[in-house]
Amino acid sequence: MKIYDGQNLRNVALVGHGGSGKTQLVSALLFAAGMVNRLGKVDDGTSVTDYDEEEIQRKFTVSASLAYAEWGKTKINFIDTPGYNIFLHETEAALLAADAALVLVHGVAGVEVQTEKTWGFAEKHALPRLLVVNQMDRDRASLERSLESLRAAFGRSVVPIQLPLGEEKSFRGAIDLVKMKAHSYDPNGPGKATETEIPAEYADAAQKAHETLIEMVAEGNDKLLEEFFEKGTIPVEDLVPGLQQAIAERRIYPVAVSAGLPIIGSSGLLDAIVDYLPSPVARGKVQGVDHAGGSPVERKVADDQPVSAYVFKTVADPFAGRVSYFKVMSGVVKNDAVLTNFNRGTTEKLAHIAVMQGKTQSPIPELRAGDIGAVAKLKETLTGDTLGDKAAPIQYPAVQLAEPAISFAIEAKSRGDEDKLSSAIHRMLEEDLLLRFSRDPQTKEFLISGSGQQHVEVAVSKLRRRFHVEVTLKAPKVPYRETIRAKAEAQGKHKKQTGGHGQYGDCWIKMEPLVRGSGFEFVNDIFGGAIPRNFIPAVEKGIVEAAAKGYLAGYPVVDFRVILFDGSYHDVDSSEMAFKLAGSKAFKKSMEQAKPCLLEPVMNVEITVPENYAGDIMGNLNGRRGRVQGMDSKSGSTVVKAQVPLAEMLSYASDLTSMTQGRGSYSMEYDHYDVVPQQIADKVVAAARAAGVGKEEEEE
Ligand SMILES: Nc1nc2c(ncn2[C@@H]2O[C@H](COP(=O)(O)OP(=O)(O)OP(=O)(O)O)[C@@H](O)[C@H]2O)c(=O)[nH]1
Ligand SMILES: [Mg+2]
């Protein structure tokens, strides 16, 4: 395996809506570059980057993976990412290793929900972009319509650098609007273009598009603008660097056309990546901090800088152990290097560094600034950590993850599974940052949490296939809360003064509702020493502990204020314990009068369906206590936005699939807590009581 210098590298992440053809395109590009001798296909389970058993079975990408193509003097590192909403956290994390994004758009559907989401990630991480209108061989695929939706979503900087040659079934290549040549492909061939002059019937359209491109490139570049006004055109040798610069500065988002199956446009796309997208070195400097919460540090992306590498992904392999994927941010990572993990203050030896072609590792003696590789068996390093030269500490920022949206109780099927469960899950948590594992304080069950039902199901399936642990998932849980709706006032008195050392604590509190999201507030309003100062924190503690245990159904009580305003004490018998118990009693007595109620999480839901299903979807949302907030139609599909209680969304994934014959998709995130309607609350409370919540012994 050859060693590449930073300027001869391109790190591109393929992003876009699920099914736009990212994984298929990577396999096509690798085949066209001669990196593999058979064309891998998603549909046969033979693609290079969807190699995980889960991906082969489900035929979509679950987690980011790497591949590379050697194209002329350049090595292109591809990062294939998931487009499915519940795995998008993987996509964003992987973008930290990229220097540009290839944003794929389905030639029939145009811009879709996840196109915009992933565009947002690219925006956030300031990545230059190349748009690819893909699957141009499909019936009703159209560059023109795709461009309309792209411009509507991303503005007028979207400009074609290619036009399709032929359309739909007869799509056979692309016209290069920079060099003004036609590139045609044999649909059964190896993905390499034959270059010809532009056919006469395309000449006018190509000339017009060429001029539009030139104008866009010249617009932000005074020198080119002058040249353009003088000569009425810009020669190719000036247009290429001008285009490069405009892309790097994100003034232009160029658009190419392709198909990954049949492979059409591949060699032209590889050329465009090499010619127009920036190398990691061209991106200049990277930013970090010298230690957590410390001062900013800058590092030049160059071989002569101190070495630093950012770990953007971890794979838990049952055989190879932990495999860490990293990008060399500065300096050179040599095989067997001993580096410091700055996040953990530990030392790691990088034995057997390698480059990845899908699941296949090839050893390499060194990786230079900007390159991407992998290493197995690091001891403590996890995703988001920075490794480097001890003398030059730096930590690169990791992505901010959302909170998981859904939890299920998980149970091992047998005793043997139980023994293996926790260690297997902890290894999976290392590879999937949004997965959580915890214990329900009320029911003592183990909980597994993720971004959606399917996310959790994939995790369970991995547990079985990779780690041979069988588990069952029980009904998902809704994290209810409790609160109050009225003011209350009560006394809590704990008194035991018969025989031996007595106990005496007595307090009076007022309780008031607070606005949603305020949590808990404690006000000490004791005057004249009715309760000695040192016992006041004990009263508060008693209230806090009782509130955590809940009043109605065992869910934490939130959004209320307690004012401690009176009480009494005994010189000998008062103690912290006695006042804590008094606080807890006062809380419970106040709750009786305070009109307690249940709160439930309400989610922002976005559902995308083909237009003709929109009516059904809205009707169905009404039945789920949903409030439709808006509707958007574009290119044949409708996006419905609504707020729906989480409790009503637990089975939505499978219901949506059956309502739309699998053509709908949705995403949701937490928005706020709201009061549960009485009838439903009654059922939740009854279920909790039946499960034994609130039956514990009253302390006396
Ligand atoms: N006709 C046609 N079908 C394609 C093309 N590219 C991909 N497909 C098919 O479209 C489906 C989805 O392709 P993938 O490559 O898995 O799509 P993806 O963007 O990786 O999807 P996610 O991994 O879910 O984000 C598969 O059935 C492919 O065979 C294309 O250019 N033309
Ligand atoms: Mg994929």
Question: Residues 499-550: pLDDT tens digits?
Answer: 778 899 999 999 999 998 888 999 999 988 999 999 999 999 999 999 998 9
Pocket test of ligand 1: the residue of 81, 170, 261 to mutate, having most ligand atoms within 8 Å of its CB, is: 261
- Give Cβ neighbours of residue 646 (< 8 Å, ≥ 6 apart): 405, 406, 478, 600, 601, 602, 603, 670
Q: Pick from 20, 173, 26: which is nearest to 109 by CA?
A: 20
CA of 265 to the centre of ligand 2 (A): 19
Ligand sitting nearest the alpha carbon of 50: 2
CA–CA distance, 156 with 515 (Å, rounded to integer): 44
CA of 106 to the centre of ligand 1 (A): 9
479 pLDDT tier (thresholds 50, 70, 90): confident
Q: For residues 578-589, give the mean pLDDT.
A: 97
pTM, two decimals, is: 0.78
- Higher per-residue pLDDT: 279 or 498: 279
Q: Of ligand 1's atoms, which has the minimum distance to the CA of residue 138? A: 1
CA–CA distance, 633 with 640 (Å, rounded to integer): 9
Please state, rounded to an integer, the average pLDDT across all residues of the chain: 93
Which residues are placed with Cβ below 5 angstroms of ligand 2, an ion? Answer: 22-23, 61
Instruction: Determine which residue's CA is closest to atom 9 belonging to ligand 1.
Output: 21
Instruction: Determine which residue's CA is closest to atom 11 belonging to ligand 1.
Output: 19
CA of 23 to the centre of ligand 1 (A): 7
CA–CA distance, 480 with 440 (Å, rounded to integer): 13
Q: For residues 185-200, give the mean pLDDT.
A: 95
CA of 21 to the centre of ligand 2 (A): 7
Residue 297 in this model has a pLDDT that exceeds 50: yes
Check: CB of residue 78 under 8 Å from CB of residue 114. no
Q: Pick from 589, 560, 553, 548: which is nearest to 483 by CA?
A: 560
CA–CA distance, 614 with 27 (Å, rounded to integer): 35
CA of 60 to the centre of ligand 1 (A): 8
CA of 260 to the centre of ligand 1 (A): 8
User: Domains plus CATH for the chain?
Assistant: 6-276 (3.40.50.300), 289-388 (2.40.30.10), 406-477 (3.30.70.870), 482-594 (3.30.230.10), 599-681 (3.30.70.240)
Give residues (CB < 6 A) around ligand 1. 16, 18-24, 42-43, 60-61, 82-84, 134-135, 137-138, 259-261
Pocket test of ligand 1: the residue of 14, 15, 23, 139 to mutate, having most ligand atoms within 8 Å of its CB, is: 23
Kindly report, residue by residue over 375-405, the tens digit of the pLDDT: 999 999 999 999 999 999 999 999 887 767 7
CA of 90 to the centre of ligand 1 (A): 19
Amino acid type, 423:
S
Amino acid type, 149:
S
CA of 200 to the centre of ligand 2 (A): 38
Q: Of ligand 1's atoms, which has the minimum distance to the CA of residue 55? A: 23
Q: For residues 90-102, give the mean pLDDT.
A: 97
CA of 26 to the centre of ligand 2 (A): 9
Kindly report, residue by residue over 120-160, the tens digit of the pLDDT: 999 999 999 999 999 999 999 999 999 999 999 999 999 99
Q: In 413-540, where do the E strands start and end?
A: 436-439, 446-450, 471-477, 481-484, 488-496, 503-513, 520-524
Q: Of ligand 1's atoms, which has the minimum distance to the CA of residue 61? A: 23
Ligand sitting nearest the alpha carbon of 59: 1
Tell me what percent of the residues of the chain surpass a pLDDT of 70: 98
Ligand sitting nearest the alpha carbon of 84: 1
CA of 45 to the centre of ligand 1 (A): 12
pLDDT of residue 697: 40
Dmax over Cα atoms in the chain, in whole Å? Answer: 109
Residue 696 in this model has a pLDDT that exceeds 60: no
Q: For residues 441-445, give the mean pLDDT.
A: 68
CA–CA distance, 197 with 498 (Å, rounded to integer): 106
Ligand sitting nearest the alpha carbon of 136: 1
Kindly report, residue by residue over 154-188, the tens digit of the pLDDT: 999 999 999 999 999 999 999 999 999 999 999 99
Pocket test of ligand 1: the residue of 22, 25, 42, 47 to mutate, having most ligand atoms within 8 Å of its CB, is: 42
Check: CB of residue 73 under 8 Å from CB of residue 275. no
Amino acid type, 253:
Y
Element (H, E) at 131: strand 129-134
Is 485 buried (19+), middle (13-18) or exposed (0-12) by CB count in 10 A? exposed
Going 604 to 609 to 615 to 617, the CA torsion angle's sign is: negative
CA–CA distance, 220 with 512 (Å, rounded to integer): 60
Instruction: Determine which residue's CA is closest to atom 22 belonging to ligand 1.
Output: 18
